[in-house]
Structure 1
Amino acid sequence: MNKRFMALILVVVMTTGLPLTSHAENSSPSPKRDSTELQYQDMLMIVLLPHIEAAVREHYSKSLKEQLIVYPYYVDVTEVKRVNGFRGFHFILTLEAHPTVGPHITVGKDRLVFEVAPTLPGGMVKLVEFQHLETHEVPPHWQDMVK
């Protein structure tokens, strides 16, 4: 009787056009609207992305044949510290990246700590620490890219 009742409810909802609410949209951690903070973070990713990819590719080159891609929207800024006080231009940035292969297949999760300052020798960005946090199994049809 329960199954018949549920089927009847489903048919009524589908034929009358009553909306079924879903909370799936709220489960996504990605932002749904633009903001000044998001714009600044995206600009920061444009500047840091070559440094992030270099560190990630070096780590994964030992285990993968194919070159990785790090998409800027798969990098999260987890912490920013201003080293020398208010309006100082020396920062320590902690990021978490999810490198991918092929059609957005994530292969892991990594924490990168960068020092960013105009006074650094050799440039404004220096990788301070790289920590591999997780390894994700690639699908069976991508196993040929694993060393």
Structure 2
Amino acid sequence: MLKRMLITVSMLSLLFSHAVYAGSVHTPPDKPEQDSKELMYQDMLMLFLLPHMQQKIDEIYAPLLKSSPEIYPYFVDVQDVQRVNGFRGFHFLITLNVVPTVGPHIAVGEDRLTFDISPVNPHNVKLISWKHLKDPKKSDFPPNYQDLLKR
């Protein structure tokens, strides 16, 4: 009887502790639940830009975290796209909001990156501006992930 009660208390404690930290796990922003051509093109673009985003995110978070955060394409929101040289021109500016994560999708901040995509750029992509919008907060990390923070 005592053993069963201890197991029940342990399970309730585990469930309660999970509920306390469940709010710190980042969930993807509202996304369409049906596929479309537009969504497929956006997902392909994110895959194309992912290495360029990751390079800058690694640099931004190096002083803040002991390991590099991950970027998942579904945690990247397109803020703005401009066709620089008019109809059917192949020079674009794209601004993205990026939410990098660690572990089980724990958000570690937010950043805004603007890329110039053009046939005249080497490899067609150039980061032209970035803004770090939000630092990681210790309170957003479960205890077993707080050792990832440098401060």
Q: Identify whether the pair has TM-score above 0.5, normalized to the shorter chain.
A: yes
5 Å matches for 1:1-147? 29-120=30-121, 122-137=122-137, 138-147=141-150
Cα offsets for 1:31-81 (capped at 9, x unmatched): 111111100000001100000011111000111001211001100111000
Q: Which runs of 4+ in 1 moved over 4 A?
A: none
CA distance in 2, matches of 1:139, 1:79: 34
CA distance in 2, matches of 1:126, 1:140: 38
SS of match in other structure, 1:123: helix
Gaps of 5+ in 1: 1-27
TM-score relative to the length of structure 1:
0.78
CA RMSD of aligned residues (A): 1.1
Gaps of 5+ in 2: 1-28
Q: What's the offset of the Cα at 1:141?
A: 2.2
CA distance in 2, matches of 1:74, 1:36: 19
CA distance in 2, matches of 1:117, 1:42: 19
Q: How many pairs were matched up?
A: 119
CA distance in 2, matches of 1:69, 1:118: 28
Cα offsets for 1:111-133 (capped at 9, x unmatched): 0000000111x220000111011
Percent same amino acid at aligned positions? 52
The structure whose Rg is larger is: 1
TM-score relative to the length of structure 2:
0.76
